[in-house]
Amino acid sequence: MLPKNVFEYLLKKYKIPYNALKSILLHQDLTIEIIEKLIQKFKNIEKMFKYLSYNPSLKIEWIEKFPDENWDFFEISLNPSLTIEMLERFPNRGWHFFNVSQNKALTLEMLEKFPDKDWCFELISINKALTLEMLVKFPDKNWDFIKISNNSALDIRMIEKFPDKQWNWKSISMNPSLTFKIIEKYVDKIDFINIYANTFDYHYYLLDISLKKTKLFYYLPLCYDIKRYIIQNF
């Protein structure tokens, strides 16, 4: 049986070939102790820290331990392990805020801390990290509400807060984040043909509440299974 830390075991027992180095540097179980051993074993490897910049388990401690190495901050800007602490600790290291805009690690705190950076709000509009709080905090930015309509981060509160924006109801009707609250409140806007192709989760125990609205019944196409449920059970 291999020990818990497989990398530690392999480094001690075997001569790791150079062509395996990239795979090791990208592995999610990498630790700073292993990085130190790899540096000793593979000295003067130009791309070592570039590969580490891609590692999905990247930690600020790694950068702090080797601050003068050739880190690729363009790629770290895309890394899902990005934190606001990294941005604050190394503010002048070539961050690419276009990349941060599409990073799922994006937070409201990052936008607030660095408001004058080159954020791309069209990209943030499709980012699953999008929140209502971001829209409220920066209402005058170049948001794309057509793209937000298709974003699985869509929340009914966004529609309620910005009812006059350019929402795409065909996209909302197909959005997996669609809920009965949205259907009930905006029944005259919902595209029920597109709902038929939607994979969103609904529960029959909600039907008594949602479908007693006569208006909703008449908007449903014959092919839609909720209407079939009504026909069969009422």
Digit-coded pLDDT (tens) for 153-163: 999 999 999 99
More reliable by pLDDT, 115 or 232: 115
**For range 139-157, the mean pLDDT:** 97
pLDDT at residue number 226: 53
Residue 115 neighbours by CB under 8 Å, 6+ apart: none
Digit-coded pLDDT (tens) for 83-94: 999 999 999 999
Helix (H) or strand (E) segment spanning residue 37: helix 32-41
Name the residue with tokens 């984040």: 177
pLDDT at residue number 222: 46
Q: Where are the domains of the chain?
A: 132-234
CA-CA distance, 202 to 67, in Å (whole number)? 50
Residue 142 neighbours by CB under 8 Å, 6+ apart: 121, 122
Digit-coded pLDDT (tens) for 23-72: 888 888 888 888 888 888 776 667 889 999 999 999 999 999 999 999 99
Residue 152 tokens, joined: 């699985």
* Residue 155 DSSP SS3: coil
- Whether 66 and 46 have beta carbons less than 8 Å apart is answered as no
Q: Note every long-range contact of 212-218, with CB atoms under 8 Å and residues 24 or more positions apart, other chains counting.
A: 213/184, 213/187, 215/187, 215/188, 216/183, 216/184, 216/187
More reliable by pLDDT, 9 or 131: 131
